[in-house]
Amino acid sequence: MLLIVTIRPEVQPTWVGQTHVTMLHLSRLGRRDSTGIIDGITKSKALPDAVVEQVLAHTDGVPLFIEELTSTLLESKLLRETPDRYVLDKPLPPLAIPTTLQGSLVARLDRLASVKDVAQIGAVIGREFSHELIASVSGFAPIDLDAALERLIASGLISRRGTPPHATYSFKHALIQDAAYDTMLKSRRRQLHASIAKVLVEQFPAMTESLPEVVAQHFAEAGVATEAVGYWRRAGQIATARSANREAINFFEKALSALNELSQSQYVLEQGFEVRLELRRVLIQVGEVRRVLEQVREAESLAEKLNDDHRRGRACAFMTNVHGQLGELDEPLVWSRRALTIADRLGSLELRILTTTFLEMVHYYRGEYQRVVELAIGNLASVPADQVYAHFGATGPASVFDRHCLVMSLAQLGRFLEAAEHEAEAIRLAQSTDHAFTVALAYFPSHTYQILKSDWATARLRLERLIAVLRADDLVLLLPTSIACSAWVLAELGEADEALSRLVESERLLEREVSTGFVPYHGWAFHALGRACLLLNRLEEAQIRAHRALASSARQPGFAAHALHLLGDITTHPDRFDPQTGEVHYRQALVLAEPRGMTPLVAHCHLGLGKLYRQLGKPKQAQEHVATATAIYRDTGMTYWQEQAEAENRQLQ
């Protein structure tokens, strides 16, 4: 499929820079194309050369300006039409040609004085407006309104779809709407916005329900901030539900702006608290973690002003989450204790489930996998049967979020059969929601589990599904790490070119992610990139990424153990065999992995030591380590690695 998209230079989509995207910079039109537009407007009747030259000089290759200025001159009566051309009987007056596009548009509207009011009312409604709505707002007699609309259509300023009274009208260009809007007095605009909002609420309930942002915009422009807040907030909630996160952010921010126009009251404080937490939910999905911290801090301050324990507890729970996302892994323990204390005092099951869900993620980052399992299983048991899809304030249902943490932790512990059960249930629950971030929550741990189990084909399927969801809905929070892991998996499957492409893309995204503040997966992501480089025999690059993974895991001993194991594999590679350094790395990895119950990684370290000792001519020590690895692989059902260990053992015999 070939998709061509036009965007303005200030727009910076996340997909720019991907290998399958080509950017072309469009310049202004040249003389030939500009005169072609003029011919289209005049229906191929020639204009005097002097007029053409002035149009070209004023419009500077801007298509809309060429169209509008040519139309302005044709309507001005300065040119006389003959059967085959337009004739200029006298020199053009000095001010005959407007010098700006805005001036040209205003001149055309001024010459339509009798219907200008209808154009202005339409402009206040929006770029597009229905016959039914403008009839309700304008107060014109039906025959007069229809005549005015027909004249605007004939002028080319608006177009019509359908037949009145079921017709819909559109301004030819947003700049035409702007010109009509800007020619009105501010007091008249406010009055019209208020009338439109009132008519929409009273006469168009279906539209008000489905497009509350339209009503909100009219209330806001009318200066009725109290009404605007509720409709902006509702618009944000609808956008959030359909994963339109950038739209949701815009709507919630407009709700906050409207609140800032109001005097402080309990209503304003309460709305400010709720809107900030709703904004937090979508900001976290697009990875803007530092902005999340700002919103949660503001919400906590508002909870204190309100002296509201329930809101105070929710703010503490979200502080647990955001500090974890920022990689600050001690602070969440303090905030979670406060939240759980409040939950106990209030008897709030909802607050306890929410806080525990966030706490599980923090313990995962800290490499405390057994603690995650205990908390997640307990939390799942406490979710009421009729609330299996309830979010309790989190970004996804607790029943999926808990399994998200549970699958990854069970995989790190080598409890793959249990992980498989929770993986399947998480995916089943997530897919029935049709909510992008919830689906991503289910698939992200799924691919982690498949990688640790070394089921590369299934890992690839899970990753491609995950990456497709993340890309489609601009969910950048998990995208860099997912692409890094896909580079690893593709390298394992022998798809070197695609693995290299994903490696380059992931590094670019990881560097961008640093600016957002979301860092807890960087150790795992750089470890994955290091693995991909090692498999691609790019040893120097593998070592750089392994050290980057280790540096990124200073407070995450689980991820640090993986990085050390990778360094062990790199330094014992045949092309740069350094047994002393390799042994140090393997043993350091074991020191971190063993007390945390990271059984698969423990087995990998023993296999690495076995290979190292075999190359050093120490068969007895080699056999001991290989035997340990083989037993662990057998017990955990890691057949791929069991075969590797058995092959190594045969070389020792």
In order, the DSSP letters of 336-384 are HHHHHHHHHHHT-HHHHHHHHHHHHHHHHHTT-HHHHHHHHHHHHHHS-
**Cα 215 to Cα 251: distance, rounded to the nearest angstrom:** 12
| 3-state SS, residue 76 | coil
SS (H, E, C) 549-611: HHHHCCCCHHHHHHHHHHHHHHHCCHHHCCHHHHHHHHHHHHHHHHHHCCHHHHHHHHHHHHH
Backbone angles phi, psi at 519, to 5 degrees: -130, -5
pLDDT at 360 over 90: yes
DSSP for residue 171: E
Does one domain contain both 641 and 532?
yes
CB 447 within 8 A of CB 488: no
d(CA 466, CA 487): 14
CB 353 within 8 A of CB 379: yes
Amino acid letter at 587?
A: R
Q: With respect to residue 122, please indicate whether it lies within any of the assigned structural domains.
A: yes
Q: Is residue 328 part of a domain?
A: no
Among the ranges given (44-58, 247-261, 330-344, 603-617), the one the predictor scored with the smallest mean pLDDT: 44-58
Please check whether residues 632 and 555 belong to one and the same domain. yes
Number of H helices, E strands in the chain: 32, 5
State residue 518's pLDDT score.
87
Length of the chain: 653
554 and 613 housed in the same domain: yes
| Spatial distance between the Cα atoms of 280 and 283, rounded to a whole number of angstroms | 5
The per-residue pLDDT for range 27-37, each reduced to its tens digit, is 889 999 999 99
Which pLDDT belongs to residue 96?
Answer: 62
CA distance 352 to 341: 9
Structure tokens at 388: 């299996």
Which residues have CB under 8 Å from 608's CB, separation 6+? 565, 568, 569, 572, 582, 586
By residue range, what is the domain housing residue 538?
A: 502-652
List the structure tokens of 333.
């323990």
Token pair, residue 304, equals: 């204190």
3-state DSSP assignment of residue 130 = strand
At 16, is the pLDDT very low, low, confident or very high (cuts 50, 70, 90)? Answer: confident
CB 488 within 8 A of CB 459: no
Q: In the beta sheet, which residues pair with residue 48?
A: none
Sign of the Cα torsion 296, 298, 300, 303 reads: negative
Strand order in the sheet with 128-130: 128-130, 168-171, 158-161
Number of separate domains in the chain = 3
Is residue 589 scored above 60 in pLDDT? yes
Res. 97 pLDDT band, cuts 50 70 90: low
Q: Is residue 134 part of a domain?
A: yes
End-of-domain residue from the set 80, 108, 136: 108
| 135, 103: one domain | no
Helix/strand/coil for 96: coil
pLDDT band at residue 101 under the 50/70/90 scheme = confident
- Scanning 29-156, the segments in alpha helix (DSSP H) are 31-41, 49-59, 63-75, 101-110, 116-125, 131-138, 142-155
Evaluate the omega torsion of the peptide bond into residue 165 and state whether it is cis, within 30 degrees of 0: yes
Q: Which structure tokens are listed for 426? A: 């998480």
In the predicted structure, residue 6 carries a pLDDT above the cut 90 = no
Please give the structure tokens belonging to residue 35.
């005169």
Residue by residue, DSSP assigns 301-316 as HHHHHHT-HHHHHHHH
* Longest Cα–Cα distance in the chain: 108
Q: Phi and psi at residue 549, in whole multiples of 5°? A: -65, -45
CA dihedral (390, 392, 395, 396) positive or negative: negative
Q: Which of the two residues, 503 and 105, has the higher pLDDT score?
A: 503
- Whether residues 53 and 125 share a domain: the answer is no
Measured distance CA(296)–CA(316) in Å, rounded: 9
Domain boundary among 89, 108, 127: 108
CA–CA distance from 296 to each of 253, 286, 401 (Å)?
14, 16, 20
pLDDT band at 455 (very low <50, low <70, confident <90, very high): very high
CA distances from 477 to 236, 397, 444, 460, 468 (A): 20, 17, 11, 20, 14
Instruction: Give SS3 for 474.
Output: coil
CATH value at residue 561? 1.25.40.10
Neighbours of 50 (CB within 10 A): 11
Do 90 and 161 share a domain, yes or no?
no
The CATH number for 175's domain is: 1.10.10.10
Handedness of CA 366, 370, 373, 378 (dihedral sign): negative
CB 302 within 8 A of CB 494: no
| Mean pLDDT, the chain, whole residue set | 92
CA distance 51 to 79: 10
Of 354, 293, 358, which Cα lies nearest the Cα of 321?
A: 358
User: Does one domain contain both 120 and 81?
Assistant: no
pLDDT in tens, 199-230: 999 999 999 999 999 999 999 999 999 999 99
Is 189 a residue whose pLDDT tops 80?
yes
Single out the residue in 108, 136, 165 at which a domain terminates. 108
Please, which residues have CB within 8 angstroms of residue 34's CB and are 6 or more apart in sequence? 56, 59, 61, 66
Report if residue 220 sits inside a domain: no
Residue 369 resides in a domain: no
Provide the pLDDT for residue 374: 98
Is 36 in the same domain as 116?
no
**Residue 601 in contact with residue 562, Cβ under 8 Å?**
yes
pTM of the entire predicted model: 0.80
Q: What pLDDT does 531 receive?
A: 97
Of 112, 120, 118, nearest to 131 by C-alpha is: 118
Here the tokens at position 482 are: 């997912």
Residue 60 lies in a domain: yes
Joined together, the tokens standing for residue 281 give 């939910």
**What is the per-residue pLDDT for 626?**
95
Residues 526 and 631 in one domain: yes
Share of the chain above pLDDT 70, in %: 99
Rg (alpha carbons) of the chain, rounded to whole number: 32
Judge whether residue 372 has pLDDT over 80. yes
Q: CA-CA distances (angstroms) from residue 157 to 73, 101, 135, 136, 290?
A: 15, 14, 19, 22, 45
Assess contact for 589 and 602: CB atoms under 8 A. Answer: no
- Using one digit for the tens of pLDDT, what is the confidence trace for 311-331? 999 999 999 999 999 999 999
Is residue 389 in a domain? Answer: no
**508 and 558, same domain (yes or no):** yes
Residue 639 domain flag? yes
Nearest-angstrom CA–CA distance, 530 and 488: 8
Tokens of 375: 């908390």
Q: Which two tokens stand for residue 452?
A: 């640790």
Other beta carbons less than 10 A from residue 250's beta carbon: 17
Percentage above 90 pLDDT, the chain: 76
Tokens of 645: 């260990």
Per-residue pLDDT tens digits for 604-651 = 999 999 999 999 999 999 999 999 999 999 999 999 999 999 999 888
Rounded CA gap, 602 and 466, in Å? 29
Name the band, by pLDDT with cuts 50, 70 and 90, for residue 95. Answer: low
What is the per-residue pLDDT for 94?
Answer: 64
Is 51 found in the same domain as 178? no
Instruction: State residue 451's pLDDT score.
Output: 95
Q: Kindly state whether residues 37 and 82 are assigned to the same domain.
A: yes
* Alpha carbon of residue 381 to chain centroid: 32
Distance CA 572, CA 244 (A): 48
| Backbone angles phi and psi of 353, in degrees to 5 | -60, -45
Q: Kindly indicate the confidence band of residue 168, based on its pLDDT and cuts at 50, 70 and 90.
A: very high
